Amino acid sequence: MYTLEQLSAREEIRDILHRYCKGIDRRDWPLVRSCFADDHVHKHAEYEGPPDEFIGFASQVLEHIPGTHHSISNVHIALSEDGNSATTEANFVAYHYIEAGNPDFAPCQTHGKATDWIVAGRYCDTLERRDGSWIIIRRTAYHDWERASEATGSAVTVGHHAGG
């Protein structure tokens, strides 16, 4: 049985994972940044490095993708015995709508057509409790599978990334 402190830690950690998804989908880069320690190392696709550079990488990749939706599920959390560190593995599915006419980029070739790009994988994180709050110190994102297909209809993106 979990103690109240362990339950609280688990919920705070789960909140960080959800905050990351919200930040990415809203293009709220300060919110994304708040998930990661200054000395954090992030490995995602071809990117590996510190959090501020990751945000530059992510914003560049998503520049021509007006609609995204990241979902987290099957969150497994292992707390250390002293309760000050944890590892997690969380499944994610990321839906991306790429509008027609956007340039191809390495992860997804669209050939100029509107494209639905779906990526499923895992976020494997190491977290620490620092100054009383949980923060991610290392993330490795694994893409387990991807699928891209011509979109059959336009996505509705009005107000999407402005917190609407």
Segment 117-145, tens digit of pLDDT: 999 999 999 999 999 999 999 999 999 99
Assigned domain for 164 exists:
no
56-87 b/e (C-beta count within 10 Å ≥ 16 → b): ebbeebbeebbbbebebeebebebeeeeebbe
Assigned domain for 158 exists:
no
Distance CA 102, CA 141 (A): 25
Assigned domain for 10 exists:
yes
Cβ–Cβ < 8 Å for 121, 92: yes
Distance CA 34, CA 52 (A): 11
Assigned domain for 54 exists:
yes
Residue 162 above 50 pLDDT?
Answer: no
- Structural domain boundaries, residue 64: 4-150
Assigned domain for 9 exists:
yes
Assigned domain for 89 exists:
yes
CATH of the domain at 93: 3.10.450.50
Residue 106 above 70 pLDDT?
Answer: no
Query: Global pTM?
Result: 0.89
Assigned domain for 8 exists:
yes
Assigned domain for 159 exists:
no
Which of the four pLDDT bands, split at 50, 70 and 90, describes residue 152?
confident
- Pick from 33, 78, 80, 24: nearest CA to 52: 33
The number of domains in the chain is: 1
